[in-house]
Amino acid sequence: MTIEAAEAQWSAESEADTARLAGWLAQRAEPGTVIALDGDLGAGKTRFSQAFAAALGVAGVVSSPTFTIIKEYESGRLPLYHMDVYRLSQEEADELGLDEYWYGRGVSLVEWASLVPDLLPERKLSIRIAREDGERRRFTLQGEGLPYADWCREWTVAAEGGGRG
């Protein structure tokens, strides 16, 4: 069976624009939401994650989970599972039981997600962040399955109207 898919592209001129996209997505997040983040070092994956966490109402500092692999934050509207799988092999990632997070009661943000493609759920929102010049970032959102495909279509409309939808 083929799942519905859609894509959206957007340029963020500043960190405030990145926060606007992250906040818009956080408003739509529900238990079991999976957002797969990719981009070169310094592209803005952790900055996006921080803005997303703030929009969820997570209290305190949100930092990259590079060495801890998974950081869990319970203080927001939904639990946030912030993951960095850069240093994991496919086998190690499988042993961690990541799928329990995908179908759990919170939101999973996975940095370097393209390194563990076989472990990600079929339905997810993939976001590729590309650094352009200065603070400018290019976001490519790929929604695979619902509600993620709808989010891509809705963001295209919302971004044109200031991203407040």
Residue owning tokens 């894509």: 7
- For the chain, what are the domain ranges? 5-158
Please report the pLDDT score of residue 165 as a whole number: 44
Neighbours of 78 (CB within 10 A): 20
Q: What is the DSSP letter of 97?
A: T
Say how far apart CA 154 and CA 92 lie, in whole Å. 36
**144 and 36 Cβ atoms separated by less than 8 Å:** no
Q: What is the DSSP letter of 32?
A: T
Residue owning tokens 């900055």: 47
Please write the tens of the pLDDT for every residue from 152-164. 999 988 887 755 4
Domain 5-158 has CATH 3.40.50.2300: no
- The 3-class SS string of 130-158 reads EECCCCCEEEEEEEECCCHHHHHHHHHHH
Please write the tens of the pLDDT for every residue from 8-42. 999 999 999 999 999 999 999 999 999 999 999 88
Which residues of the chain fall short of a pLDDT of 50? 164-165
Please report the pLDDT score of residue 162 as a whole number: 59
Please report the pLDDT score of residue 141 as a whole number: 97
pTM to 2 decimals? 0.91
Query: 137 CB contacts (<8 Å, ≥6 apart)?
Result: 11, 12, 17, 18, 43, 44, 129, 130, 131
